[in-house]
Each structure stands twice: as structure tokens, then as C-alpha cells.
Amino acid sequence: MTTTLIAPQRFSPSASDESLPLLLKPFTGEVMNRPPVWFMRQAGRYMEEYRAIRSKVSFLELCKNPELSAEVSLQPWQAFHTDAVIMFCDILIPPEAMGMALDFTDHGPVFANPLRSAAQVDALRVPDPQESMPFVMDLIRRLRCELAGSPETALIGFAGAPWTLACYMIEGGTSKNFRHIKAWMYEDPASLHRLLDKLADTVIVYLNAQIAAGAQMVQLFDTWGGLLDEHGYRTFIMPYQKKVLDGLNRTQAPAVLYMNNGAHVLSAVLETTPDGLSVDDRTSLISLRSLANDSGQTGLVLQGNLDPIAMLSRPEVLKPLVQANLKTGGNTNYIFNVGHGLIPQTPPDNVKRVVEWIRSGELTTG
Amino acid sequence: MTTTLIAPQRFSPSASDESLPLLLKPFTGEVMNRPPVWFMRQAGRYMEEYRAIRSKVSFLELCKNPELSAEVSLQPWQAFHTDAVIMFCDILIPPEAMGMALDFTDHGPVFANPLRSAAQVDALRVPDPQESMPFVMDLIRRLRCELAGSPETALIGFAGAPWTLACYMIEGGTSKNFRHIKAWMYEDPASLHRLLDKLADTVIVYLNAQIAAGAQMVQLFDTWGGLLDEHGYRTFIMPYQKKVLDGLNRTQAPAVLYMNNGAHVLSAVLETTPDGLSVDDRTSLISLRSLANDSGQTGLVLQGNLDPIAMLSRPEVLKPLVQANLKTGGNTNYIFNVGHGLIPQTPPDNVKRVVEWIRSGELTTG
């Protein structure tokens, strides 16, 4: 019996590649004067320009209209000069394409028929993204066209991780105690694993389609990835993060794993070997860097992790917080971001300020 | 300059004290055939007997009526034979006594005038519990009378920890993103520290009054204690947990700290040196025990940490989960509990079963 080791694909750009947009330079390992900067949920309700468009169309209509979603995607880049544009979409678009009726209410997303039986899992299809979600790839191509004159700006695609998608699909929306998915976990783990595996297959083809359409980096969002203890993480969450990460065309675009609330399972998270790891503000970047180095992942790009609530502060309070974050991030293998999505109360002027402080180089790194 | 070291009071009962209720035996360090068992939120909506009383009075009326709150406190003990009775009350009673108008709605607690200014903090009083919350001490005395014939059963008092109380008082209720308390933290930390200190003073006299009235163990609930990173925890949360723990008459009753969502800061949590540490299901009891031993706290009592959602499972699924928990808890210095409060959908029969399994000794420890 022989063991076949398939080395996972890793994004490994050349530092001498002058055409590399700034967002991707941290993956070369070169020392940088300042990190790239973008914000999770950088397009959204806190921007007046976004609200103007949303007053005319529903959230789902916006997601499915490439002309409008392109406009919204570009708004923060135009207003604040972020180093990246992230496509405007929702992580629940693929579950809808798998066969689940989706709606967005004032209280968040709602699946009219949440998954509550193994038969429902079997009935879900692994959708062909080109057929069932063509508007996403259309959006990506449009955005690359719009950005053609700005090669220093990178375009980011994304998807929800299997566990987080399963949480929404089983709970039917946001949840206080996740009792339905946990019931499955305890009562019928085999069906839950089947669902998670199907979701991983779905996400792999979806993200690879995004990369093929022109996404220059992809981010896998595991918003509820920190819900369980380490044993639970290793059983139900990590294997599907890793399956997705291992299935992506990462020589073409780096894959960043966003792990929320996972400060208690960082060693295990590192075993998924993403190109980049994006963490929330409860995680110390210094501890994480140290753990990554200890595990041999010296080139791992860290992304984060300013508390998005800090973005609501007065400029004189905010500036040292951004400075402190840059210090912990370091002068290489690091992308500045918030630890969680910007909230609707964020003052747009603060987003503008943070980008300016970082771009100008007046804040020091490392 | 000399340093005065005041050795903190610790609960140190004698193993040969035959009058010790079972709940307190883990604090002696003796090896036990089976651990004591009780449940956070063991009295509550999942019990029909509770709902019958709540149909007649509001939640706050119930908290303030010692006759009714005694009846509710005793319901799970009478129905399931738990090893402890915990007084039925709410952690927000002291903030109300400090001067904040409190109401309970279907969506949870609401403070009509949340704290939003330093002047409001200064206006809060440190209440005399005997004067402003006499119904709590009355409840404790009543319960001790009711339990006089059952010396093997212990009575538990409790309070919310300063940080968690401050979260509610500043946010005005439950919060999605804690943006108001975090704004204080970033913008005006001095005022926040003043509030937390005032809350610590309030909680100390309140819990000592409970001990004086007859509480045989007290638990300090820090439900939101895991909200920040380690630096934030050490700055705003831990000092006030420690101040409270150090201020209690712990020779008379052990103090247990309940730390929710704190698996990422366990080493720091241990520095508060409680008599017992109660943790949620994201925390590994084995890792925690190992950390406690490494820090010289070999006698620390651990409490927890079965996922309360597991309590909704079929008995044949639930039993091995309880068994696994007892194994990780060990045969000494351990109290069985859930990792978070029981939820309204918990089948009462499962609570009964878990108590029976543990009391009968059919599940093995260690």
C-alpha cells in the first residue's frame, strides 16, 4: 500500500512580477512600505450611494443584476480608493441555486423551507454556476473591465464556507442558539456530513468559476466557524474548509479563509493551509503569526483585524487603533482589514480616513 | 516601599466534614463516586410548573415576590432531584437597584434609559442590598428553611459580573454588536472603568449579603466575558471579576466564575483565582484542567460544560454525551452542569434522565 501525497496548490507569485496588484504582493513575502487595505462589507448600507440604489430594488434583485451590483461594488473603491474591489453578492446565493427558496427581510435572510430531513439534503443539487448563477460571473467580468485601467486594484470573489451555509440552510436564517444544526450534529451526523460535502462541492465549482471569470483573490467566509469546541471544529467544520481550499485553482488566485470567533482553535485552523487567514478582533495577530511560524507556515498572509466598531470612533481615537493594528500585522504577509463586516452606522469619512492614513504611509508597520 | 500581599480568601472545607452538602464536596478535593449535578437556568420556561406561575405574574414581579420565586426555585429540585437549588432571580436586579428603570419584554430585558454619559454613571448609587433588594435575601432565607430537612442539597446565590452588567446597562438590552459599550471603551475608557468599579462594589456587597443570608455557593455570571481579545479582557473584564472574587466572604461559601465564550483567554481567566470555574461547551475541560494544574491551581473546581442543545436529543444520543462529559470532568474537583443555560425547548424528561444517570452512578467518571 502506497500513500500518494498530492501537494496542495498554493498561490506563489513572483516578487518581481510588476503587474501584480498591491493586494497580492503580501503573498510574495516581500517587505512592504504599507499593507494593502480593504474592508469586509465595504459596499453597503453605511454608504449613501448604496442606499440610493437599494431604495429602488430589493437586496436579491441587486445581487442578481450585474449592472447594479457592479455599480455598488465599485462605490467604496471610487469613494475611498481601497486597494481591492470585492464583488457585491451574498453568501446564500449558492444555497438558493441548490434549490432552496430564499428571501431577505428586515431581520435578515430567510429560507422558507429550512433543511430538516435527510431527504431534503438528497434533493439538493450541486449547481452548475454558469447555468444557475450566471449573474455572478457576469458581474466579475464587468468589474474586471471597469478595473482594466487600474491594474493596481484587485478584484475579490467570495463564497460562504460549508458549515456557515449549512447553519443558515438548517436554521432557516440567523439563529440565537443554532439548535437545529446542533440537533443534526448530535442526532444524525452522517446526513450533516453529506450536506457539508455537497456544499463543499458546490463552493469549489462556484469559486473556481469566479477565478476563471477573473477574480484575483477569493475569500471563504466561515462566519459561524467558531461555534464549536476543537473536537467539533475538527469534525464538522475544518474538513470542509480544507476540502474547498484544496479544490481551488490557487495557482491562479490566492484563497483566504475568514474564520470568525475562532481564537480558541487557531492551531487546527492553520492545518487547513490557506494562502491567507483573515481573523476577527478577538484573535491576536501576534499570537497567530507566532503559531503560523511554529507550524512552518512562515509565508501565510494574515488579514484583519481591526474591530469594526472602532471604525465609529472619533478620528483621534481611531488613528492610534489603526496604527496598533498595523504594528501587529507587520511589514510583510499582511493585508489590513476589519475583523468583521463594517456596520451600517460606520461614518464613511472614517473609512476614507483609514485608507488615506494607510496609503500615505504615515502610519508605520511592523 | 513595601508590598503588602493579602492572601485572598479561599473556600477550604474539610473533607471530613460530614455535614457538607454534596455540591461543596468537590472543593475538598476528595475523590467522588459521582459529581454533583445542577443546571444553569434549571428553573424556567421549559417547565410546565414554571409557565403556570408566569401566566399569572410578570417576570419582574416573580423576581420580587419571595413566595413565588421560592416556589419556582424549588421546582426543578422537586421534579428532578438536582443536588442544588439556585435562587430564582435575574442578574439585572442590582442595576435596577442602582437607579436604572428596568423592564422585561418578549425580546428580553430593556433599560429605558441606557447609560450613555459619564454623568449617568456618577448618578448611579451603590445600593444597600438589604434596603433596595430585600426580596433576594428574603428568598434565600426562605429557601434555606425549605431545604432545612435536606442538608445534602445546597443553595446557590448569584450575580452578574461587572462587564456583563455594563453591557446590558449601556446597550440598553441584548445587543448584536455591542457598539455602545465598545464606543465607551475606545472613546472614554476612564468613565467605563468608573462604571465597572462601581458595579464591582455593588456586586461584592450584594453577594456577601447573599452569603450572609444563607447562600452556600455563589456564582458570578460573565455571559459576555469573552467578547474581547486577551488585551481587552485583561483591561476591562478580568480586573473586575478579580475585584469581586477577592471581595467575597469565600471562607463561608465558594465563589464560582462562569466565563462564557472565553476559550481564547483561559490562562488569563485562571489568574482571577476563583474557587470554581464554570465554562461553556466551546472550552475543553481537559485543556482547562491541564492549564489550571500548570498554573498551580490543582484544586480548582471545574463546572460544566455539556452543550445545552445536547439536552434536546433522544436519550440514547444524550447518554453518551453526558458520559463523555463526566469523563472529561474527572472524579474530583468537578461539578456537572451545562455550558450555558437550558433553553425553553428542553424536554423536562431529559433533565430528569441526566440527573438519574449521574445520581445512580451508572455513568463512570474520570
| DSSP secondary structure string for all residues of A132-178 | H-HHHHHHHHHHHHHTTT-TTSEEEEEEE-HHHHHHHHHHSB--SS-
* CB proximity A123 to B under 8 Å: no
Per-residue pLDDT of B287-323, as tens digits, reads 999 999 999 999 999 999 999 999 999 999 999 999 9
Per-residue pLDDT of A186-229, as tens digits, reads 999 999 999 999 999 999 999 999 999 999 999 999 999 999 99
Domain assignment present for A365:
no
Domain assignment present for B7:
no
3-state secondary structure of A362: coil
Q: Residue B306 contacts by C-beta under 8 Å, 6 or more apart in sequence? A: B281, B321, B322, B325, B336, B337, B338, B339
CB nearest A183 (choices: B178, B182, B312): B312
> Residue A141, class by beta-carbon neighbours within 10 Å (0-12 exposed, 13-18 middle, 19+ buried)?
middle
Average the pLDDT over each of B15-19, B102-106, B159-163 and give the range with the smallest value.
B15-19
* Cβ–Cβ < 8 Å for A275, A27: yes
B289 is an active site residue: no
* Distance from the A187 Cα atom to the nearest Cα atom in chain B, whole angstroms: 6
Q: Residue A237 contacts by C-beta under 8 Å, 6 or more apart in sequence? A: A161, A163, A222, A225, A227, A228
Give me the active site residues of A, please: 41, 45, 54, 90, 168
The confidence band for A14, taking pLDDT boundaries of 50, 70 and 90, is confident
Q: Cβ–Cβ of B229/A310 closer than 8 Å?
A: no
Q: With the C-alpha atoms ordered B279, B284, B286, B287, is the resulting torsion angle positive or negative?
A: negative
- Predicted confidence (pLDDT) at residue A1 exceeds the cutoff of 50: no
DSSP calls for B97-160:
HHT--EEEETTEEEESS---SHHHHHH-----HHHH-HHHHHHHHHHHHHTTT-TTSEEEEEEE
Domain assignment present for B341:
yes
Q: Cβ–Cβ of B179/A343 closer than 8 Å?
A: yes
- Predicted confidence (pLDDT) at residue B6 exceeds the cutoff of 70: no
Chain A residues in contact with B313 by the CB 8 A cut-off are: 183, 186-187
CATH number assigned to the domain comprising residue B72: 3.20.20.210
For residue A305, say if its preceding peptide bond is cis, omega within 30 degrees of 0.
yes
* CB proximity B107 to A under 8 Å: no
* Cβ–Cβ < 8 Å for A57, A357: no
Per-residue pLDDT of A281-334, as tens digits, reads 999 999 999 999 999 999 999 999 999 999 999 999 999 999 999 999 999 999
Let me know how long chain B is.
366
* CB proximity B229 to A under 8 Å: yes
Q: Which of A233, A284, A309, A311 to mutate to test the interface with B (most CBs of B within 10 A)?
A: A309
Per-residue pLDDT of A342-358, as tens digits, reads 999 999 999 999 999 99
Distance, CA of A186 to CA of A163 (rounded, Å)? 15
Q: Cβ–Cβ of A182/B309 closer than 8 Å?
A: yes
* CB proximity A79 to B under 8 Å: no
Domain assignment present for A301:
yes
Give residue B320's Cα distance to chain centre: 26
B334 is an active site residue: no
Percent of chain B with pLDDT over 90: 93
First to last CA, chain B: 48
Global pTM value: 0.96
Rama region for B29: left / alpha / beta (φ>0; ψ in -120 to 50; rest): left
Chain B residues in contact with A309 by the CB 8 A cut-off are: 177-179, 182-183, 186
Q: Residue B7 contacts by C-beta under 8 Å, 6 or more apart in sequence? A: none
Domain assignment present for B233:
yes
Q: Which amino acid is at A200?
A: A
Full domain range(s) for residue A68: 17-360
Q: Phi and psi for B73 in degrees, rounded to 5?
A: -60, -35
* CB proximity B228 to A under 8 Å: yes
B272 closest CA partner among B318, B223, B239: B239
> Residue A294, class by beta-carbon neighbours within 10 Å (0-12 exposed, 13-18 middle, 19+ buried)?
exposed
* Cβ–Cβ < 8 Å for B224, B259: no
Cell numbers that stand for B211 in this block: 452569603
Distance, CA of B139 to CA of B54 (rounded, Å)? 17
B359 is an active site residue: no
Give residue B141's Cα distance to chain centre: 19
Q: Cβ–Cβ of B186/A230 closer than 8 Å?
A: no
Q: Residue B30 contacts by C-beta under 8 Å, 6 or more apart in sequence? A: B15, B332
Q: Which of A178, A179, A267, A284 to mutate to test the interface with B (most CBs of B within 10 A)?
A: A179
- Predicted confidence (pLDDT) at residue A2 exceeds the cutoff of 50: no
| pLDDT reported for residue B219 | 98
CA-based nearest residue in chain A for residue B183? A313
Domain assignment present for B345:
yes
- Number of helices (H), then strands (E), in chain A: 16, 9
| pLDDT reported for residue A329 | 95
Per-residue pLDDT of B148-165, as tens digits, reads 999 999 999 999 999 999
What's the number of domains chain B is made of?
A: 1
Average pLDDT along chain B: 96
* CB proximity B227 to A under 8 Å: yes
Per-residue pLDDT of A56-96, as tens digits, reads 999 999 999 999 999 999 999 999 999 999 999 999 999 99
* CB proximity B248 to A under 8 Å: no
Q: Residue B224 contacts by C-beta under 8 Å, 6 or more apart in sequence? A: B163, B164, B167, B178, B260, B261
Largest Cα–Cα distance in chain B?
Answer: 64
Cell numbers that stand for A293 in this block: 511560524
Q: Which amino acid is at B82?
A: T
Domain assignment present for B196:
yes
In A246-285, which positions are buried (b, 16+ CB within 10 angstroms) versus exposed (e)?
bbbbbeebbbbbbbbbbbbbbebbbebbbbbbbbbbbbbb
Domain assignment present for B224:
yes
What are the angstrom distances between the C-alpha of B116 and each of A309, B105, B108, B188?
A: 16, 21, 20, 11
Looking at the DSSP assignment, which residues form a beta bridge with residue A156?
Answer: A86, A217
How many other CB atoms are found less than 10 A from the CB of residue A228? 24
> Residue B119, class by beta-carbon neighbours within 10 Å (0-12 exposed, 13-18 middle, 19+ buried)?
exposed
| pLDDT reported for residue B365 | 77
* CB proximity B346 to A under 8 Å: no
